[in-house]
Structure 1
Amino acid sequence: MSEFAIMTDTCSNLPDEVIDTYDLQILPLRFMVDGETYQSYLKGQTSNLQRFYTMMRDGKVITTTLPSLEFAKDLSTEILESGKDLLYIGFSSALSGTFQAIALLLDQLKESYPERSIYYVDSLCASGGQGLLVRSACELRGEGRSIEEVRAWCEQHKRNVIHWFTVDDLKYLVRGGRVSRTAGFAGQMLNIKPVLNVTDAGALAPQIKVRGRKKSMQTMIDEFKKSAWQPLAEQHVIISHGDCIEDAQKLATMLSEQCGVHDCLIGYVDPVIGAHSGPGTLTLFYYGTSRAYPTLNNNTNSMNE
């Protein structure tokens, strides 16, 4: 069985210690501030994410773009030249063009390296949800699974990665078209904190409207209790935050006290996702039974109504 590398992009929001532990290969997406382009990750360098979110709070308009295809080609070629096969697990194609661009590149490399196995998985996940799937892939590789087996597992279980998140300021969702301007204005006036999820198609969907931060956090815990794989206490959970570490730690404490969860990885939402969700974003990711929530569709209203 051939040795293989696992490659993902910075939207997986995995901290350096996880990247280093599993020898992950990372494609950095890029963001622009005041005409300057920055990489969202540089190997061996620590990103100052507090500074990034401070710029957002100060009103800097930040835009995002795909990873450098030249960098992606060089990194992929280096892996293949080393004699390893390659599995790429990418950011949801419903939220970015990154996956399609890298998949096309890898298809071209298949022609140059016919002796190598090259696979890719559209995770249909975002942020720590993508990170959770990637970490599972790394653990399976560590157990001795083949690249084909790991790819098949990811394809089978990617829609079992459940995403819940809330934001502190609706203006970023309004700017990205996730919430209408009218609903955003009303929500700000009434202190509405939407709780959103990611659908089976990998798209972002506002699902629940609650008032206040505490209620939005408890709502995420309540949904975890309903949909997480049992037993709850054995869940491997990821919490990502947009420079609101105290809220992230509080959410982890709530999970511990209410559900017995102790394996909780806390990290930042990276700049490319954070540019669209804003400071104060708080997220919860875990494995569950289904992303479909018929009770939400029956009992709540869309933020765009």
Structure 2
Amino acid sequence: MDHQFEIVTDSTCDLPVEELAELGVEMVPLHVFVGDGCYLDQIEIKPKEFYAKMAAAEELPHSSQPSPSAFATAYAKLAETGAKQVLSIHISGALSGTVNSAALAARDSLVPVRVWDTKIATSTHGIFVKEACRMRDAGESLDDTLAHLEKLREQSSLVFVLDTLENIVKNGRCSRAKGLMSAVLNIKAVLHVTDEGALEPIAKGRGMQRAYQALAKIVEAKYGAGARLTAAFATSDNEEGCKECLEAIEKRGITVDLQGTYSAGPVISTHTGIGLVAFSCVPTEMLYRG
């Protein structure tokens, strides 16, 4: 390998397995439990199949982090193929124990491993993985890549609208959203990931359209009208909602360079339910230019 480092991530980045393979990223999947089955996220069960199983299940699905041995296997594979160092990029430690499993495995790895907590999830996590790949492929050092990612994280956002709060409240990921649960009033919550990597309600709207408008207002408040953002959407079976949300953002004078609209993986959808529209972004001017 000619790179200064190689990259490992986990399945909650919500980049398709095929895209991760093209990028040359080793992915360690989380586990998802739905119905009577346990599956490797994104490997043994794909998003569309999971949505159907979740809708048919009597109980809410749940998830679990990979074991340290799963990460040890990934690190060993890269060491055997000549990796000099490894950058291991993972979902917020406030939302999952995945980063802890990675850190435990890193201690005994045959190749030096730096574990980085994105303090975020899903498509923003994916933006960081892609950015790290660009720097790796350009020959940048691991230290410089991490320093850049830290700065990028400070200006990143993950803001999302949920059609239902049942999953995220009952799975214990955001107890503060419980007071917004009201099917009668058709209240839709807008949440974001805090600087500490936790989930927090930030706005609400009566119906999805007003929730998208509230989300757009939040994006404008952070970046300003006239901003140019590199972004991605993650959704659990609500592509039309992503289009409507994008229109609401662009109507506020914000230019969006869209990397893609991705299906939220089984683990992420376990906690968001069907109908998720998640907007991830960073200022385009902050991206690595070589």
Q: Does 1:183 align with 2:179?
A: yes
Measured in 2, the distance between the counterparts of 1:254 and 1:21 equals 33
- Cα contact 1:252–1:264 (8 A) shared by 2: no
**How far is 1:238 from its partner?**
0.8
2:239 equivalent among 213, 237, 245: 245
RMSD, matched Cα: 2.4
Counterparts of 1:188 and 1:195 in 2: how far apart (Å)? 15
Aligned to 2:46: 48
Aligned to 1:169: 164
Deviates further, 261-270 or 96-105: 261-270
Whole-Å separation in 1 of the counterparts to 2:176 and 2:227: 36
Give the superposition deviation at 1:67.
1.4
Q: Name the counterpart of 2:132.
A: 137
Q: TM-score, normalized by length of structure 2?
A: 0.87
User: 1:34-64 CA deviation, whole Å, 9 max, x = no partner?
Assistant: 332100123xx8x532221122223442111
Q: 1:74 to 1:23 in 2, by over 3 A?
A: same
Rounded to whole Å, the distance in 2 between the matches of 1:249 and 1:52 is 23
- Classify the secondary structure of the residue corresponding to 1:158: helix
Alignment-mate amino acid for residue 121 of structure 1: W
| Counterpart Cα distance in 2 of 1:167 and 1:248 | 12
Task: Kindly indicate whether residue 121 of structure 2 is the aligned counterpart of residue 123 of structure 1.
Answer: no
TM-score, structure 1 as length reference: 0.83
User: How many angstroms apart in 1 are the aligned matches of 2:112 and 2:67?
Assistant: 23
Which whole-Å CA distance do the structure 1 matches of 2:247 and 2:225 have between them?
A: 19
- CA drift of 1:253 comes to 4.1
Give 5+ residue unaligned stretches, structure 2: 285-290
Aligned to 1:21: 22
2:108 maps to what in 1?
Answer: 108
Q: Would you say 1:86 and 2:86 are equivalent positions?
A: yes
Cα distance, 1:123 vs. partner?
A: 0.8
Task: Tell me how far apart the structure 1 counterparts of residues 22 and 244 of structure 2 sit (CA, whole Å).
Answer: 27
Deviation at 1:288, TM superposition (A): 5.3
Q: Secondary structure, in 3 states, of the residue corresponding to 1:92?
A: coil
For residue 203 of structure 1, what is the aligned residue in structure 2? Answer: 198
Q: Decide whether aligned partners of structure 1 residues 161 and 226 sit closer, same or farther in structure 2, where only a CA change above 3 A counts.
A: same
2:51 matches 1:33: no
Distance 1:59 1:220 in 2: 31
Q: Which residue of 2 aligns with 1:66?
A: 65
- Identical-pair percentage: 25
Q: Which string of whole-angstrom CA distances, capped at 9 and with x for unpartnered residues, describes residues 199-238 of structure 1?
A: 11100011112211001112222222222388634x2101
Which of 250, 253, 271 is residue 276 of structure 1 equivalent to? 271
**Matches of 1:173 and 1:80 in 2, distance apart?**
38
Judged with a 3 Å threshold, the aligned counterparts in structure 2 of structure 1 residues 155 and 6 are, in CA distance, closer, same or farther, namely same
SS in 2 for 1:188: coil
Task: Give the SS at the match of 2:82.
Answer: coil
Q: CA, structure 1 residues 181+119, in 2 after alignment: closer, same or farther (shift >3 Å)?
A: closer
